Amino acid sequence: DADVTQTPRNRITKTGKRIMLECSQTKGHDRMYWYRQDPGLGLRLIYYSFDVKDINKGEISDGYSVSRQAQAKFSLSLESAIPNQTALYFCATSDLGLAGTDTQYFGPGTRLTVL
Amino acid sequence: GDSVTQMEGPVTLSEEAFLTINCTYTATGYPSLFWYVQYPGEGLQLLLKATKADDKGSNKGFEATYRKETTSFHLEKGSVQVSDSAVYFCALSAPNTGNQFYFGTGTSLTVIP
């Protein structure tokens, strides 16, 4: 079984709809992240959480919100979807290593299309 | 702020050719450096990493050396295969920015038989 899972894998929705993307992990990591990937722009950080009580905005948080329901679950919501939020969304986890080194582990992605 | 710049693609090579994908970084602290690979339809997977200057990361025939003097972490492979076709991302993580990751824009590699 995959260590980091995302649901749904694909979603088509209409402008103005509320959408939730879910992420679950079995790696036991404290840190979780949401990114979006757009062609030619690489990955951009939306939100991140270093533990259940810690939520931080990333580079492009406007139009998004998150909820860390448990150590293993981190959800991303689009309160009112708009077409320029059409993208590939990735969840990732990490755990600070003994040498102070972070390595991120990614889910398979959710392809979201907003019409 | 911290950032990563990698060579733009797409890159097309014949099987068994030599691969270099350039990556340079800007960081105020002492970052760890990474290469991730994304195969079609999948998420990113860690390919290799290096945590301090002069370290060499290696995996699956790929190598990259952490060069502090040139702030570079170029990815190399001596003989590419069709199965290496993917998008490659250079990234850094630095303790002074809370270990946030900064990714390059990705370089698409296609290897033809």
A102 and B101 within 8 Å at the Cβ level: the answer is yes
Token pair for A16: 């103005």
Q: Say whether pLDDT at A1 is over 70.
A: no
In angstroms, how far is CA A94 from the centroid of its own chain? 13
Separation between Cα atoms, residue A80 and residue A14, nearest integer Å: 9
Neighboring chain B residues of A2 at a CB cutoff of 8 Å = none
Neighboring chain B residues of A34 at a CB cutoff of 8 Å = none
Give the mean pLDDT of A94-102.
66
Contact A50, A102 (CB under 8 A): no
Q: Touching check for B96 and chain A: CB below 8 Å?
A: no
Looking at the DSSP bridge assignments, the partners of residue A62 are: none
Q: Touching check for A89 and chain B: CB below 8 Å?
A: no
DSSP string, B13-24: EETT--EEE-EE
- B87, closest residue in chain A (CA to CA): A42
Mean pLDDT of chain A: 91
Q: Touching check for B44 and chain A: CB below 8 Å?
A: yes
Neighboring chain B residues of A104 at a CB cutoff of 8 Å = 44, 46, 93, 101
Binned at pLDDT 50, 70 and 90, residue B75 comes out as very high
Separation between Cα atoms, residue A32 and residue A74, nearest integer Å: 7
Separation between Cα atoms, residue B31 and residue A54, nearest integer Å: 23
Q: Report pLDDT digits (tens) over A7-21.
A: 999 999 999 999 999
pLDDT of the residue at A41: 81
Candidate from A45, A101, A103 with C-beta closest to B100: A45
Q: How far is A71 from chain B (nearest CA, A)?
A: 19
Separation between Cα atoms, residue A103 and residue B13, nearest integer Å: 29
Contacts of A43-46 spanning 24+ positions with Cβ under 8 A:
A43/A90, A43/B44, A43/B89, A43/B103, A45/B100, A45/B101, A46/A76, A46/A89
CA separation (Å) from A17 to A22, A80, A84, B31? 16, 5, 14, 40
Quick count: other Cβ atoms within 10 Å of Cβ A2?
12
pLDDT of the residue at A97: 60
Q: How far is A102 from chain B (nearest CA, A)?
A: 6
Q: Report pLDDT digits (tens) over B10-68.
A: 999 999 999 999 999 998 878 899 999 999 888 899 999 999 899 999 999 999 999 99
Q: How far is A64 from chain B (nearest CA, A)?
A: 19
